[in-house]
């Protein structure tokens, strides 16, 4: 074995000095790395969230009839406020949605007369005829046991037809005064009408027939003739039962009556469920002016005359009553319909509204200037302005249209 | 006690020596070599510190990474992103239009294109000079006023492309119904020379049967219709029938067609001279359509609409109309071939219907019973069937109304006036309706709140199922030009 050079005494054979800090740092790094790797591999991940699908926000609702501001402005310019019932209140509001005011609380009016010159408004509320005071308070008119099914009037005078029941006959109508006082019986049944500018009243007369298929689960009493006369005076037959059946069918009864403002023309809607319905236009002497047949399966829901500077126009709202729609209340009737305007001067007609806006339509009225028709439905109020061209607009008004008077309720 | 061994000279300290050193670090008797004792604590520390730091590192690293991993949420999956040619130009969920079919349209240069409803796969199909000529021709020129009492197009499309993307149904510049082929640019007329057509040709869905209505006027200007004829041809151009009066629609399978019923024309008598909707005096005619019958390819006819029903239906909108002026101008068969949408107009309406009386009515005709049910509407406009059996119609208020069986009418759109809607077409599956004007508005029929709009890429010419528009070289209907003069009533067919 060889020998190394040098002095073995100075040859350093001691072990190298351990570098503690380096070893510690290396150990720490190795530990961190190993721990991180183990944790990355072992620790469970949270579940992935559902995928994000880029879908644009859905529109809040389907298409609606547009609000045509110019048309709305034109309608609001000359017409008075709309009287609507909404949420159990009677309100008046301008066609453009402004100046909304509660006229009376807890009133569900189905018909209204007025306001008169003194501001008196009379409404038919669930069979009760009530006068609405300036403070919104209501006062019952007529006998306590009288339940009305129809109401017409002019100024402060009223004509109410009775809802048959018990001992009450269908033709036990009443003439009343909005100021109160005693009522006078009149042998007229529902429907009734009062010419807005003349002392002429009209209503249904006998013989009376029980008609099924108009209201659910019960037959309703309907007249088969139309009587006309002066308030308090003798009534005469405008359209007899035989003539009615000849013009409208064998089982025809009277569904609606309307008088022109001067009382010279009357419109009578007649027919029977399941058969074609017609609207007959008659002169005061009973002569027939026109016969307006309604579309198949459609029944009149409203007839009304307008007077626009001497031009009288009849509006007929016909609603689909086929099948299950026959007995459905207007406000829940899921069917179409149309409003036809018939000009008595030119004896021509045109359709003012039709289709989707007539679904569940429950209120109809002419404006006092005779230029516009309002139609209410759960979708809102539709206004149709007919001058030379027919303009249609939705109105920012909700509720059931009761009337469209000239003046606002004070 | 043994003395501690020192390493021999010439031998370095090896592992055995370290082991010895470790052993000697144990507490024990004091006889320790001072040389070995020096640095002993440090060596111990050098062993201890790595152990401790590795342990700490494991813990710290594990905790830190574990928390990070456990707390992290993976990125959500992305849904389909709307891009492509309509990006930034379409409003609404355009991705829902995917797989709804292929749209055909033309431009002012006479080119025909196809693209999917969601804007993809835009492709040029071909060009025809006749298509360019159509854009220069007014939709309804004065000569057509008399013819508009014979037939009126169901919409304002200028041409219609077949699903193969090759055949084009159009009107030539001289007013003759024709079929063109984009692949080779050929065009064949469907009516003899000198005859004009009031509407585009009607055809079966596969193009195997095509029909055209033709007319000749009694003179120049506003002369009335002197004679009206219809030709029904097969794919090879062979005449299946030549019929008196006008053909209004052909069933999708080519098995039947709605045509004029001459018997009702004789019953009603001729339409007198009239000022039609503000026009100068238009000559009367005994060739106009007063009732309809169904031509059946298998043989025979069946009356489906009488003049009495025409009059009865019209009186729902015009109670005192003079029946002498009532004519049928449009009729389209429903998909079940049991009903038809029929448009009736009053030829004696002197005033313009926008300001005057109602001059037209749309009616739903039950072909089995012959009953016509009027669909009252102010200024009835477009009407179209959906493959699902419902129908859509428009009116003067600018509303498009959808009517399905046992359902109330539904409003699909109220923007027709603003967008100049001229064409209404259903998707092949009936799920969507296209209102085509300056804007193409797609409305989901079962949920009209879902609508997609984008600027019109051209003039609408058809909507076919996905995969359509691939040229397949189908032969156009080939009718020899001027193939004979019109024949007398009932000369062909039973």
Of A307-316, B57-66, B322-331, B386-395, the one with minimum mean pLDDT is B57-66
Q: Which of A7-11, A90-94, A332-336, B426-430 has the lowest mean pLDDT?
A: A7-11
pLDDT at A195 over 60: yes
- The average pLDDT across B451-460 equals 94
Q: How confident is the model at residue B32 (pLDDT cuts 50, 70, 90)?
A: low
pLDDT of residue B139: 55
**CA of A356, closest CA in chain B: separation in Å?**
5
The answer for residues whose C-beta is within 8 angstroms of residue A104's C-beta and 6 or more apart is A89, A90, A123, A132, A136, A137, A138
| Closest partner CB to B376 (pick from A31, A295, A356) | A295
Q: What is the mean pLDDT of residues A218-238?
A: 94
B137-155 average pLDDT score = 78
Query: A73-77, A399-403, B12-16, B476-480: which has the minimum mean pLDDT?
Result: B476-480
Residue B415 scores a pLDDT above 60: yes
State whether the Cα torsion B219-B221-B223-B228 is positive or negative. positive
Residue numbers of A between 342 and 401 with CB closer than 8 Å to B: 342, 346-359, 388-390, 392
Instruction: Return the higher-pLDDT residue of B84 and B79.
Output: B84
Which whole number is the average pLDDT over B84-94? 80
Rounded CA gap, A68 and B401, in Å? 19
Whether B408 sits inside 8 A of A336 (CB atoms) is yes
Alpha-carbon distance values, B373 to A382, B310, B337, B370, B420 (Å): 25, 10, 16, 10, 29
* Chain A interface mutation, best of B408, B421, B444, highest count of A Cβ atoms under 10 Å: B408
What pLDDT is stored for residue A191 in this prediction?
96
Substitution target in B55, B393, B394, B397 with the highest count of A β-carbons within 10 Å is: B397
Q: What is the mean pLDDT of residues B58-72?
A: 81
Do A55 and B79 lie within an 8 Å CB cutoff? yes
The verdict on A32 touching B (C-beta cutoff 8 Å) is yes
Distance from CA of A93 to the nearest CA of B (A): 25
- The tens digit of pLDDT for each residue in A319-329 reads 999 999 999 99
Output the average pLDDT for chain A: 90
Work out the end-to-end distance of chain A between its first and last CA atoms, rounded to an integer number of angstroms: 135
pLDDT for the residue numbered B143: 61
Nearest CA in chain B to A351: B378
pLDDT tens-digit map of B377-404:
999 999 999 999 999 999 988 999 999 9
Choice between A97 and B32, residue whose per-residue pLDDT is larger? A97
Judge whether A5 is closer than 8 Å to chain B, CB to CB. no
A65·B399 Cβ contact <8 A: yes
**Given this model, what pLDDT does residue A78 score?**
82
Residue B51 has pLDDT above 60, yes or no: yes
> Touching check for B164 and chain A: CB below 8 Å?
no
B1 and B29 Cβ atoms separated by less than 8 Å: yes
Provide the pLDDT for residue A6. 57
Cβ contact, residue pair B57, A25, below 8 Å: no
CA-nearest residue to A343 within chain B is B357
Per-residue model confidence (pLDDT) at position B279: 80
**Res A316 pLDDT > 90:** yes
pLDDT grade for B75, boundaries at 50, 70 and 90: low
User: Tokens for B167?
Assistant: 């055949």
Q: Nearest to residue B197, comparing CAs of B167, B252, B159?
A: B159
**Which residues in B lie closer than 8 A to residue A294 (C-beta atoms)?**
316
Model pLDDT, residue B487:
34
- For the cut 60, the answer to whether the pLDDT of residue B149 exceeds it is yes
A 10 A CB-CB count for A363 gives: 25
Average pLDDT score over chain B: 84
Would you call A43 and B447 a contact, using CB atoms and an 8 Å cutoff? no
B320:A43 CB<8 A: no
The whole-model pTM stands at 0.82
To the nearest whole Å, the CA of A15 is away from the closest chain B CA by 6
Q: Please determine, for residue B102, whether its predicted confidence score (pLDDT) is greater than 50.
A: yes
Range with the largest mean pLDDT of A154-158, A304-308, B37-41, B305-309 = B305-309
User: pLDDT at residue B235 above 90?
Assistant: no
- Closest residue on chain A to B79 (Cα): A53
Average pLDDT rounded to a whole number, residues A53-73: 75
Of the listed ranges A78-82, B42-46, B133-137, B463-467, the least confidently predicted one is B133-137
The minimum CA-CA distance between A234 and chain B, rounded to whole Å, is 33
Are the Cβ atoms of B59 and A35 closer than 8 angstroms? yes
If you average pLDDT over residues A5-25, what whole number do you get? 69
Q: Residue B224, SS3?
A: coil
Instruction: Note whether B312 contacts A: Cβ–Cβ < 8 A.
Output: yes
Contact between B377 and A13 using a beta-carbon 8 Å cutoff: no
What proportions of chain B, in percent to the nearest 5, are helix, strand and coil? 15, 30, 50
* Contact (CB, 8 A) for B233 and B241: no
Chain A contact for B397 (CB, 8 A cutoff): yes
Total Cβ atoms within 10 A of residue B189:
24
Total residues found in chain B within this entry: 494
Asked if B375 reaches chain A (Cβ–Cβ under 8 Å), the answer is yes
- Residue-wise pLDDT for A241-288, tens only, equals 999 999 999 999 999 999 999 999 999 999 999 999 999 999 999 999
Give the closest of A31, A323, A389 to B55, CB-based: A31
Q: According to the model, what pLDDT value does residue B9 have?
A: 47
pLDDT tens track for B220-229: 778 889 999 9
Any B CB within 8 A of A1 CB:
yes
- The alpha-carbon gap from A354 to the nearest alpha carbon of chain B, in Å, equals 6
Asked if A351 and B451 come within 8 Å (Cβ–Cβ), the reply is no
Contacts of B35 in chain A (CB under 8 A): 14
More confident residue, A17 or B327: B327
Nearest CA in chain B to A352: B378
Q: What confidence category does residue B125 fall into, taking pLDDT thresholds of 50, 70 and 90? A: very high
Question: Residue B46 and residue A38: Cβ atoms within 8 Å?
Answer: no
Helix or strand or coil: residue A367?
Answer: coil
Does residue B261 register a pLDDT over 60? yes
Tell me which of A1, A7, A34, A36 to substitute to probe the interface with B (most B C-beta atoms closer than 10 Å). A36
| Chain A contact probe: residue of B22, B70, B319 with most A CBs at under 10 A | B319
- The whole-number pLDDT of residue A345 equals 93
pLDDT at A13: 65
Residue in this structure with the two tokens 């219907």, named with its chain if needed: B353
Percent of chain B with pLDDT over 70: 81
Strands (E), A1-125: 82-86, 89-93, 101-104, 109-113, 121-125
Q: Is A46 on the interface with B (CB under 8 A)?
A: yes
Confidence check: pLDDT of B116 > 70: yes
Using a CB-CB cut-off of 8 Å, the residues of chain B touching A348 are 318, 320, 356-358
Q: pLDDT tens digits for A146-183?
A: 999 999 999 889 999 998 876 778 888 999 999 888 89
pLDDT digits (tens, 9 = 90+) for A84-121: 999 999 999 999 999 999 999 999 999 999 887 778 89
| Contact with chain A for residue B352, Cβ under 8 A | no
A39 lies within 8 A of chain B by CB? yes
Give the Cα separation of A152 and A254 in Å (integer): 16
The DSSP-derived string for A120-189 is -EEEEETTEEEEE-TTS-EEEES-TT--EEEEEEETTEEEEEE--BTTB-TT-EEEEETT----EEES-E
* pLDDT at position B83 over 90: no
Statement: residue A54 has pLDDT above 60: no
Cβ pair A45:B69 closer than 8 A: yes
Cα torsion through B8, B14, B15, B18, rounded to 10: 60
Q: Give the phi and the psi of residue A85 in degrees, each rounded to 5.
A: -100, 135
Cβ separation of A28 and B56 shorter than 8 Å? Answer: yes
Residue B381's pLDDT is what? Answer: 93
Is A14 in contact with B93 (Cβ distance < 8 A)? no
Q: Is pLDDT above 60 for B482?
A: no
The residues that bridge with A270 in the sheet, in sequence order, are A254, A278
What is the interface size between A and B, counted as CB pairs within 8 Å?
268
Instruction: Provide the pLDDT confidence category of residue B61 given band limits of 50, 70 and 90.
Output: confident
């Amino acid at each position: 074995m060889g020998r190394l050079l040098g002095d073995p005494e100075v040859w350093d054979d001691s072990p190298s000095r351990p570098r503690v800090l380096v070893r510690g740092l290396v150990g720490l790094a190795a530990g961190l790395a190993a721990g991180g790797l183990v944790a990355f591999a072992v620790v469970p991940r949270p579940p992935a969230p559902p995928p994000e699908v880029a879908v644009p926000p859905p529109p809040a609702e389907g298409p609606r009839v547009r609000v045509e501001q110019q048309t709305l402005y034109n309608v609001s310019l000359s017409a008075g406020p709309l009287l609507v019932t909404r949420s159990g209140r009677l309100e008046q509001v301008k066609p453009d949605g402004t100046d909304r005011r509660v006229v009376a609380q807890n009133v569900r009016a189905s018909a209204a007369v007025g306001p008169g010159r003194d501001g008196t408004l009379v409404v038919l509320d669930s069979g009760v005829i009530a006068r609405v005071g300036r403070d919104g308070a209501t006062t019952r008119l007529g006998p306590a046991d009288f339940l009305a099914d129809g109401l017409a009037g002019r100024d402060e005078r009223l004509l109410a037809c009775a809802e048959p029941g018990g001992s009450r006959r269908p033709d036990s109508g009443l003439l009343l005064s909005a100021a109160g006082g005693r009522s006078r019986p009149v042998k007229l049944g529902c429907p009734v009408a009062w010419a807005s500018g003349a002392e002429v009243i009209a209503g249904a007369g006998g013989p009376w027939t029980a008609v099924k298929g108009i209201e659910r689960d019960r037959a309703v009493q309907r007249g088969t003739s139309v009587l006309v006369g002066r308030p308090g005076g003798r009534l005469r037959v405008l359209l007899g039962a035989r003539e009615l059946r000849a013009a409208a069918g064998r089982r025809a009864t009277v569904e609606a009556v309307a008088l022109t403002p001067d009382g010279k023309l009357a419109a009578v809607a007649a027919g029977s469920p399941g058969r074609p319905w017609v609207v007959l236009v008659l002169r005061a002497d009973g002569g027939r002016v026109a016969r307006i047949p309604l579309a198949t399966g459609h029944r009149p829901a409203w007839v009304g005359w307008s007077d626009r500077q001497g031009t009288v126009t009849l509006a007929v709202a016909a609603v689909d009553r086929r099948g299950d729609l026959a007995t459905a209340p207007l406000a829940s009737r899921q069917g179409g319909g149309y409003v036809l305007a018939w000009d008595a001067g030119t004896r021509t007609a045109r359709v003012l509204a039709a289709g989707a806006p007539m679904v569940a339509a429950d209120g109809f009225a002419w404006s006092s200037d005779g230029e516009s028709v309002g139609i209410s439905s759960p979708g809102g109020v539709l206004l149709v302005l007919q001058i030379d061209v027919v303009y249609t607009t939705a109105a920012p008004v909700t509720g059931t249209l009761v009337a469209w008077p000239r003046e606002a309720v004070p | 006690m043994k003395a501690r061994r020192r390493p021999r000279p010439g031998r370095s300290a090896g592992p055995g020596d370290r082991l010895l050193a470790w052993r000697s670090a144990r507490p024990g008797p004091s006889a320790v070599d001072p040389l070995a004792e020096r640095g002993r604590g440090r060596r111990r520390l050098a062993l201890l510190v790595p152990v401790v730091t590795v342990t700490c590192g494991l813990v710290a690293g594990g905790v830190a990474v574990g928390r990070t991993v456990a707390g992290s949420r993976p990125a959500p999956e992305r849904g389909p992103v709307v891009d492509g040619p309509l990006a930034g130009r379409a409003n609404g969920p355009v991705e829902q239009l995917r797989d709804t079919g292929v749209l055909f349209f033309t431009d002012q240069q006479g080119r025909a294109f196809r693209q999917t409803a969601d804007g993809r796969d835009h492709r040029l199909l071909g060009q025809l000079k006749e298509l360019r000529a159509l854009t220069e021709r007014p939709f309804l020129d004065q000569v057509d006023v008399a013819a508009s009492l014979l037939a009126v197009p169901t919409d304002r499309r200028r041409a219609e492309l077949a699903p193969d993307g090759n055949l084009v149904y159009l009107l030539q510049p001289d007013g003759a119904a024709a079929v063109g082929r984009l692949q080779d640019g050929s065009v064949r007329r469907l009516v003899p020379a000198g005859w004009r057509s009031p509407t585009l040709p009607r055809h079966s869905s596969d193009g195997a049967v095509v029909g055209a209505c033709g007319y000749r006027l009694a003179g120049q200007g506003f002369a009335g219709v002197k004679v009206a004829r219809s030709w029904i041809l097969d794919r090879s151009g062979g005449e299946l029938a030549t019929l008196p009066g006008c053909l209004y629609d052909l069933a999708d399978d080519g098995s039947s067609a709605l045509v004029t019923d001459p018997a009702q024309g004789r019953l009603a008598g001729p339409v007198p001279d009239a000022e039609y909707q503000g026009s100068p005096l238009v000559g009367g005619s005994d060739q106009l359509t007063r009732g309809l019958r169904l031509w059946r390819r298998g043989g025979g006819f069946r009356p489906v609409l009488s003049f009495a029903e025409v009059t009865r239906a019209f009186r729902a909108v015009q109670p005192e109309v003079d029946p002498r002026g009532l004519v049928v101008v449009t009729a389209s068969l429903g998909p079940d071939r049991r009903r038809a949408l029929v448009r009736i107009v009053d030829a004696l309406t002197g005033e313009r219907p926008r300001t005057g009386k109602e001059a037209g009515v749309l009616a739903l005709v039950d072909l089995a019973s012959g009953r016509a049910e009027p669909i009252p509407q102010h200024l009835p406009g477009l009407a179209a069937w959906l493959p699902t059996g419902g129908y859509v119609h428009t009116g003067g208020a600018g509303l498009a109304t959808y009517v399905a069986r046992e359902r109330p009418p539904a409003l699909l759109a109220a923007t027709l006036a603003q967008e100049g809607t001229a064409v209404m077409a259903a998707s092949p599956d009936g799920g969507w309706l296209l209102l085509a004007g300056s804007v193409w508005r797609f409305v989901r029929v079962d949920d009209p709140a879902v609508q997609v709009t984008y600027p019109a890429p051209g003039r609408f010419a058809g909507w076919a199922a996905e995969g359509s528009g691939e040229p397949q070289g189908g032969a156009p209907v080939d009718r020899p030009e001027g193939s004979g003069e019109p024949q007398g009533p009932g000369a062909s067919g039973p």
